[in-house]
Structure 1
Amino acid sequence: MSRPNFNGLDWLKFAAALLVVANHTSPFLSYSAAADFLLSNLLTRIAVPVFFMTTGFFIFRRLTRDPLTDRQVLRGYLLKTCKLYAIAILLYVPLNLYTGYFSDSFTAYSLIKDIVFDGTFYHLWYLPALIAGLSITVIMYRRMSMKAMLAAAGFLYIVGLLGDSYFGIVQEAEGIARLYEGMFAVFDYTRNGLFYAPIFLTIGAWAAKQKPPTRTPFANAALFAGSLGMMVVEGTLLHAAGAPRHDSMYVFAIPAAYFLFHWALQWKVRSSKRFREWRVWIYILHPIAIVLVRGAAEALKLERLFIANSLLHFAAVCVVSIGMSSITVRLLAINRNSDRPSLFHRA
C-alpha cells in the first residue's frame, strides 16, 4: 500500500508563511491602499488558520485514544514547541531593547501576560497560542465526540469573534463589554490559544480521523475561492461599519481554510524535510529580515527602492527570510543526529 502524499501541505504552509510576511510588510501600500487592504488585512488572514489546521491534522493522525501513547505524542510535541518558543524569545531580546519593550511600563505581570498569551514580540503570539490551543483540543478529544469537539471549539471561536472583528456588536451591550474589558486586562487580543486556535486544530483533527471527501480538486478550489470571496465581503463590511477591535478572526475564514486544506492534499508536488522546516523559520525570523532590509537600504542609500517601494520591500524581506531560514535549517541539520526527528516534523 502506498504512503499518503502530504507534500501539498508543505507548499501550502510555505505560501502561508509568505502571507504572514505580507501581513507585516504591506506589499501594495505604495501602489493602492485598497489593494493593500485586500491583501494585508484580509487575504493574509487565511495563513495562521492553515498553520493550526495542518498541525491538528498531523498530530491527531498519531493519537489513538490510548492514554499512554497520546500523552507521549503530546508531551513530545509541546516540549519541542516550548523549546522553540524559548529560543525565539531570547532571539528577539535585542530587538525588544531597541523598540523600548523594557520601558517604564514593563512589569513582571506584563512579561507573564506576554509569555503566556501575547508573545514578547508582535508575531510570537502564535507559539503560546499553539501550546494552549493544542492542550485544550486534546483535552476535548479525550472527553468528547468529534462533533461535540467541533461544537465546543466553535463556541470558543464565537467568543473570540466578539472580541475581535465583531467587537462593535459587544460595545452595544454594556455588561458584555465590561466582561470583554476584563478579558483584555489578561490578554491583549482574543486571537489567542483560548478562542482562536481550537477551532482550526479541531478541524484538522476531524480531517485526520474521517475519510477524505470525494470532491475533485476543481471543486475544492472553487469552494475555497467562494469562501475566500465571502471572507473578503465579510471583512470589508465589518471595516466599513467600524466593528473590528482587531481584524484577525472572520466567520468565513473557517470554510476557506477547510477547502484550501483539502485542495492542498490533492496537489501532486515534491517536497523535502529541509523545505518543510523552512516555513517555521520564515515565520520566526522574518521580523529580523525586515530590520536587516531596512538597515541595508539606508546604509546603501537605496531607500527609494527597498523601503519606499512596498512591493520591492516585501520581495526583499521574503528573499532574506528564506535565505536566513535555509541557513538555519542547514546549521541545525549539521548539529542534529540524523536519526532524530526534526523539531517540527510534518506539523
Structure 2
Amino acid sequence: MRENYPLLDIARFLAAISIILIHCGRLVENDFLHFFLKNTFARLAVPLFIISSSYFYRKKAMVDTMYPKKYFSRQWKRYVIWSIFYLPYGWYYITSLDLSIVLYPIAFVIGLCYLGTCYHLWYFPALLFTLSVVSFLKKHICYCLLVIMSFLLFFIGASETYSAYLHGKISEFYTLFHSITLTNRNGLLYVLIFVVLGFIIADFEKTLFLERYLLTKLASAFILLIIEWYLVFQNQGDDKNFYFGLLAVAFFLFCILIKSEKMITKDYVILRKYSQYLFFLHPLILESIKFFSYYGINKEIDGLPLFFMTLFVTLSVSWIVLHKDKLLNTFTIIVLKNS
C-alpha cells in the first residue's frame, strides 16, 4: 500500500474547508446560489472522509491483526479529549433547551454517545460504531447482503432529505421516527453504507470495474447527482445530507484519488494535519466570532463573511500549532540575543 496520496490529501483538505462552509448558516440571499454552495460539492466532504477512513482501516487491519485495537484506542482517546474540550458548548446548548435539570444526565449521555458535545463531533461515535458493526458482519455475511442492508437503511434515512415529498401515513411515520432519532445523520442510517463502500474498495480495488473508465463513471454519476440536487431544491426537506447520487460520486471519486499517480512525487502530508485542525478547531473559532460580533457590534455575523473569517483564523491557529516548536526556538533566540 502506498504511503503518499497527494490528490487525496488535497481533496480532504478542501473537504475540511467545505465542512466549515456548511456550518456558517445562510450564505447568500439568493436561494439557488445558497443551495448550490451549501448542498452540492460541500455535501461530498463527509462521505469522502468516511470512505477514506474505512478504506485505510480495512487495508491496515488485513495486514496487522493488532491494528483495530490500536486504532480504536487512539480514536476514542482523541474523541474523549475533544468532547471534554467542547463540553462548555454542549452545556450551553443543553441549558438553552429549557430542559428539566433531571434530564441533564440523559442529555449528556446522548451528546457523548450519539450527537457529540458539539455539532461536528457526531462523526466519531458514528464512524467508530459503524466500523465495528461492518467488521463484525463481514465475518458472517457477504458484501451483497451488506450493500442491500446498508442501502435500505440509507433509503430510510433519506426520508429526512425528501420529507417535503412525503404525504399521509408515510409523513406521519417519518415525523414519529425523526422525533426518536433526532437526526437521521447517524451511524446506521448514514455512515454505514459509506463504510461498506470503503471496505469494498479496499478488497476489490484491483478488479477491472474499479480500474477502467473511472472518469466516465464519475461523470455519469455526477450528472445523476445534479438531477437529484434539482429535485431536492424544488422541495427541500428537513435536512439535506442524504443524496443517493453521493454514493456513486463519492465511490468513484475516491477510487480516482487513490489510483492517480499525478503529483506522486509531491508531499502534501502537511495538508492532512491542517485538515484535522480545521475539522476540530473551526466550531470554536466560528462560535467565538458569532459571539463577540453579536455583543460587540450588536449584529451576528453569518454567511460568507463568517466563513472567510473562520477559515482565515482557523488556518492561522493551525499554522501556529503545527509550527510551535520552530516559533518557540525563534522566540528563544531573539530573547537571548536581546538579553
Aligned-partner Cα distance in 2 for 1:275–1:125? 23
Name the amino acid aligned to 1:276: R
Bigger radius of gyration? 2
Letter of the 1:286 counterpart: H
The percentage of counterpart residues that share the same residue type is 22
2:252 aligns with 259
> 1:10 maps to what in 2?
9
Q: Does 1:147 align with 2:144?
A: yes
Contact 1:43/1:232 (<8 A) preserved:
no
Q: In the alignment, what sits opposite 1:210?
A: 204
Q: Is the 8 A contact 2:94 2:107 kept in 1?
A: no
- Is the Cα contact below 8 Å between 1:89 and 1:120 reproduced in 2? yes
Q: Secondary structure at the match of 2:40?
A: helix
Offset of residue 101 of structure 1:
4.0
The 3-state SS of whatever aligns with 2:23 is helix
Match of 2:84 among 84, 90, 93: 90
| Structure 1 position 326, deviation (Å) | 3.5
- 1:225 deviates by 4.3
TM alignment of 1:97-176, pairs within 5 A: 97-99=91-93, 101=95, 104-105=98-99, 107-162=104-159, 164-168=160-164, 171-173=167-169
The equivalences for 1:295-306 within 5 A come to: none
Query: 1:240 corresponds to which residue?
Result: 234
For residues 71-127 of structure 1, the C-alpha deviation after alignment (integer angstroms, 9 at most, x for no partner) is x32222222221122122111123334555465315222222222222222221111
The 8 Å contact of residues 27 and 36 in structure 1, kept in 2 or not, is answered as yes
State the partner residue of 1:47.
Answer: 45
Give 1:150 shift. Answer: 2.0
Say whether the 8 Å CA contact 2:4–2:267 is kept in structure 1: no
Alignment of 1:193-208 (within 5 A): 193-208=187-202
d(CA) in 2 for partners of 1:120, 1:168: 29
* Match of residue 333 from structure 2: none
Q: What corresponds to 1:343 in structure 2? A: none
With 12-21 and 115-124 compared, the bigger mean Cα shift is at 115-124
Give TM-score scaled by structure 1 length. 0.79
Aligned counterpart, 1:323: 316
Q: Displacement, 1:156?
A: 2.0
Distance in 1, matches of 2:167 and 2:195, equals: 29
Q: TM-score, normalised by structure 2?
A: 0.81
Q: Distance in 1 between matches of 2:156 and 2:93?
A: 32
- In structure 1, the residue matched to 2:33 is 35
Q: 1:87 to 1:183 in 2, by over 3 A?
A: farther
Task: Please name the residue that 1:338 is paired with.
Answer: none
Instruction: Name the structure 2 match of 1:288.
Output: 284
**Greater helix share, structure number:** 2
Which segment is superposed worse, 147-156 or 55-64?
147-156
**Structure 1 residues 184, 146: closer, same or farther in 2, change over 3 A?**
same
In the alignment, structure 2 segments of 5+ residues that lack a partner are: 328-339
